[in-house]
């Protein structure tokens, strides 16, 4: 392939790669934390790449952003305060703010440049940044959670890059213990948990770390995301409270539009594949 016409993300350990045909390179820079690239693609709109990994495209980001937000927000009985750790493209923040119960949503990304570039290349994802309930912070999410007071947040959404570089500590038992300490009674963490096909060991380790931090209830949910390795992604919810039910009636009557999420998709995303149940020793 001609590298000037295609962007390719290789996953050498899996022997796979995903490519998008590129029209133009729009921007590149080395920020204080990571290498940021923006492309215009032939068929997927704009594309954000961080340290060589695809993050967001105009065409398919709705799968990820909707599934990182709505299942958790419709599982919590009364989500008033939500923190998004990472999420600098602002797409998760936009989805969270669609919920009328939410009174305060804070996005905490370590790298302000990601948000500044998203404002230019993904303005639709940033359209709720001016909502009076929204607050943007540019600091390390690990420190933010460590310094937080007990009982200060209902839902923590960890919308981070892969567990390397600045995001590595976001997948640790120490981080989950700090999350457990600042969550309210029915509080929960939801974190992107990579691909069950390619990263099963990582998901197992992440679930073990969440359990060891005191979260007795875990729920991994599955959804498509063609931009990410294998095209099949997951997120894992951890809580001290029961996760077996969600606000099904509210979800079925959601007062906002989505592209992918609805009550049936929510239910379907909770179904656990046979190999996953076996690997995670689930009943």
Give me the active site residues, please. 159
CA-based R_g, the chain, Å: 18
Partner residues linked to 217 by β-bridges = 239
In the chain, DSSP finds a helix count (H) and a strand count (E) of 9, 12
Angle subtended by helix axes 200-212 and 173-182, to nearest 10: 50
- Binding residues for S-methyl-5'-thioadenosine, by number, are 34, 109, 140-141, 166
Tell me the closest approach of the beta carbon of residue 81 to ligand SAM, in angstroms. Answer: 18
Q: Which residues are annotated as a binding site for spermidine?
A: 65, 89, 159-162
Report residue 54 as tokens.
């695809």
Output the smallest distance, CB 170 to ligand SAM, in A: 6
Strand 183-192 and strand 153-159: the pairing is parallel
The answer to whether residues 106 and 141 touch, using CB atoms and an 8 Å cutoff, is no
Q: How far is the CB of 144 from ligand SAM (least distance, A)?
A: 8
CA separation, residue 241 to residues 67, 72, 76, 85 (Å): 20, 13, 9, 21
* Of residues 136, 205, 206, 215, the one with CA closest to residue 181: 215
For residue 251 the two structure tokens come to 């979800």
- Binding-site ranges for ligand SAM (CB under 6 A): 55, 64, 85-89, 108-111, 114, 140-142, 159-161, 166-167, 170, 192
Residue nearest to ligand SAM (CB): 86
- Shortest Å distance, C-beta 87 to ligand SAM: 5
Nearer to ligand SAM, 97 or 108 (CB): 108
Q: Is 98 exposed, middle or buried (0-12, 13-18, 19+ CB in 10 A)?
A: middle
- Residue 137: CB minimum distance to ligand SAM, A: 9
* Cα 114 from Cα 90, distance rounded (Å): 9
């Amino acid at each position: 392939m001609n590298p000037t016409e295609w962007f390719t993300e290789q996953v050498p350990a899996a022997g796979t790669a995903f490519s998008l045909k590129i029209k133009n390179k729009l921007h590149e820079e080395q920020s204080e934390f990571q290498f940021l690239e923006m492309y215009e693609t032939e068929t997927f709109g704009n594309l954000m790449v961080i340290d060589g990994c695809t993050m967001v495209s105009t065409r398919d980001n709705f799968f990820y952003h909707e599934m990182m937000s709505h299942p958790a927000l419709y599982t919590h009985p009364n989500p008033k305060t939500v923190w998004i750790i990472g999420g600098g493209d602002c797409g998760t923040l936009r989805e969270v703010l669609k919920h009328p119960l939410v009174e305060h949503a804070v996005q905490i990304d370590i790298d302000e440049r990601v948000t500044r570039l998203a404002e230019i290349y993904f303005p639709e994802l940033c359209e709720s940044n001016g909502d009076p309930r929204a607050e943007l912070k540019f600091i390390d999410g690990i420190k933010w959670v460590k310094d937080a007071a007990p009982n200060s947040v209902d839902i923590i959404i960890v919308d981070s890059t892969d567990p390397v570089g600045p995001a590595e500590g976001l997948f640790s038992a120490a981080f989950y213990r700090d999350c457990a300490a600042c969550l309210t009674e029915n509080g929960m963490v939801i974190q992107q948990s990579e691909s069950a096909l390619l990263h099963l060991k990582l998901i197992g380790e992440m679930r073990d770390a969440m359990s060891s931090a005191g979260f007795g209830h875990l729920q991994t949910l599955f959804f498509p995301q063609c931009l990410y390795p294998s095209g099949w992604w997951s997120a894992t919810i951890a809580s001290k409270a029961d996760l077996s039910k969600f606000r099904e009636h509210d979800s079925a009557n959601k007062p906002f539009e989505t592209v992918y999420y609805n009550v049936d998709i929510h239910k379907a995303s909770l179904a656990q594949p046979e190999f996953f149940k076996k690997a995670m020793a689930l009943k």
